[in-house]
Amino acid sequence: MKKRHALKKITLLGTVVALAVTAGCSAGGETGTGKEATKDNKGKKLKLELMSNKTDVTETFNKVIAKFQEKNPDIEIEVNAPPNMLKVLALRIANDDAPALFTVYPSAPSMRQPVKDGYYADLTGDKTLFNNVIPSFVDFSKTMGKNYTVPYALEGYGVTYNVDLFKELGLSIPKTYTELIQVAEKIKAAGKTPFLFPDKEYSVIRQTTAAYLGLDIPDASQYFDDVINGKKHIADNQEVRKVAQKVLDLRKYGQKDPLGTAQDNVIRDMAAGKGAMFFHGMWQAVAIKKANPSLNVDIFPFPAEKAEDTKVAMQVGTALSIPKNGKNNAEAKKFMEFFSTTEMGQMYADETGNISVIQGVKPNYKENKTIAEYALSGKLYRAADTNWTPAMQDDFGKATQELISGLTIDDYMKKLEEIFYKKGN
């Protein structure tokens, strides 16, 4: 039995450490006698640790915690957001030292193994935790058919654009992909740069291209699962080929050296008004506004071929889990329930720009309002890379980077076949 338990730890450690190379997932662990919670010398205050890889929202987390502690003075919660959080969490799990609470991404591929190994508490059907969550997002946040996390907010992708430049050129928000290209043509004709691309970073290329695939291929996650399991071939799918062509067509409207441009460069240049549009995560609009608070930017959904098919790529970006058999799960759940109140959901959404899935919360964050309306009305989808392993994600990003640098579409399709076909475990 000890050997089996050790093997389970090794499996989970390998899964989470591999994921730490890429963004997008967190994992939890089983705990018994670890440092999940401690009491002060007088034994009156219980101290819980919330481990987070969301360093951009730590300040807001602390505000929520302060409100919670006003009503629960006997419980103290400390946010721990270490560098390489996923790797640290994996090591903690391996040593039966899981934190009381931890942030997760329920759609991340590495969620499956720790769930199978029984490291996460099954929260399915817990009315106190999910009572104030919009029901459709309770389902949206399931892993392998069950809830191991409580979702609080979404994050996703859209086209951040310079509102004043659009007004100056008399441009309307494009409703179809054809209209998007027409808008890009007009911007280019005016001597401006339509799009900025951070193609130096293959991880960004992977994220955006996976979003195109998810929009253009019906049930893209299932399609790639079929390819991975040897049921279908990449070469047989004309939609994948069309997306490859789309990647190349869009670069005709980009800056001169996209392959030499990193994300930080794009944010700086967008903030300086050097580009009209930037397709990536909605959090980039927040970064651009921080770089230049006076810049008027907004976000619109990347349009589909037909206006009625336009949706937004989304994932649950803020969610909390607890370890199975955690000795302070009751107190941890108390905080999770408090975080799901409308008051806390509104504060979190207003301060972070994330799209709350808590009932009664209004999307007041101006830049994200349009894509929030799409997501909350059910016009959302998961990007195609939801079930890819970290290695698949990296290899896909690198292959698409090669496409941008001159690889033919035929050779690109062959590379994708090599990356995905019959690569299921």
Report the predicted TM-score, pTM, of the whole model to 2 decimal places. Answer: 0.85
Confidence of residue 89 (pLDDT cuts 50, 70, 90): confident
pLDDT in tens, 132-148: 999 999 999 999 999 99
Look at residue 76 in the predicted model and tell me its pLDDT. 97
Give DSSP secondary structure letters for 108-123. SGGGHHHHHTT-B---
- Number of other CB atoms surrounding residue 256 within 10 Å: 7
The percent of residues above 90 in pLDDT, for the chain, comes to 77
* Percent with pLDDT over 70 in the chain: 89
pLDDT of residue 108: 81
Question: Higher pLDDT residue, 84 or 239?
Answer: 239
What is the token pair recorded at 140? 């949206």
* pLDDT for the residue 39: 53
What average pLDDT does the segment 42-51 reach? 86
- The average pLDDT across 270-281 equals 97
pLDDT at 22 over 60: no
Encode pLDDT of 182-202 as tens digits: 999 999 999 999 999 999 999
Least confident of 7-11, 157-161, 306-310: 7-11
What is the predicted pLDDT for the residue at 94?
Answer: 75
Cα 369 to Cα 174, 288, 385, 400, 424, distances in angstroms: 16, 16, 25, 31, 39
Query: Quick check: 34 pLDDT over 80?
Result: no
- Please name the residues in contact with 175: beta carbons below 8 A apart, sequence gap of 6 or more: 303, 307, 310
Mean pLDDT of the residues in the chain: 90
pLDDT of residue 403: 98
Position 372 pLDDT exceeds 80? yes
CA dist., res. 212 & res. 240, Å (int): 9
pLDDT for res 117:
82
Q: Which domains does the chain have, with CATH numbers?
A: 46-155+315-375 (3.40.190.10), 156-314+383-420 (3.40.190.10)
* Neighbour count for residue 118 (Cβ, 10 Å): 13
Is it the case that residue 9 has pLDDT exceeding 60? Answer: no
Instruction: Look at residues 229, 233, 220 and name the one whose alpha carbon lies nearest to residue 417.
Output: 233
66: number of Cβ within 10 Å: 10
Q: Residues 309-328: pLDDT tens digits?
A: 999 999 999 999 999 988 99
CA distance 51 to 231: 40
Residues with Cβ within 8 Å of residue 259, at least 6 apart in sequence:
199, 200, 401, 404, 405
pLDDT band at 28 (very low <50, low <70, confident <90, very high): very low
Secondary structure (3-state) at 169: coil
Residue whose entry in the numeric block shows the structure tokens 């994050």: 155
Residue 44: what pLDDT?
A: 75
Pick the residue with more confidence: 177 or 27?
A: 177
- Judged by average pLDDT, the poorest of 31-45, 82-96, 117-131, 193-207 is 31-45
Answer for the pair 140, 312: CB distance below 8 angstroms, yes or no.
no
Q: What is the pLDDT of residue 38?
A: 54
Confidence of residue 109 (pLDDT cuts 50, 70, 90): confident
Span 29-58, mean pLDDT?
70
pLDDT at 110: 66
Interval 220-258: pLDDT, tens: 999 999 999 999 999 889 999 999 999 999 999 999 999
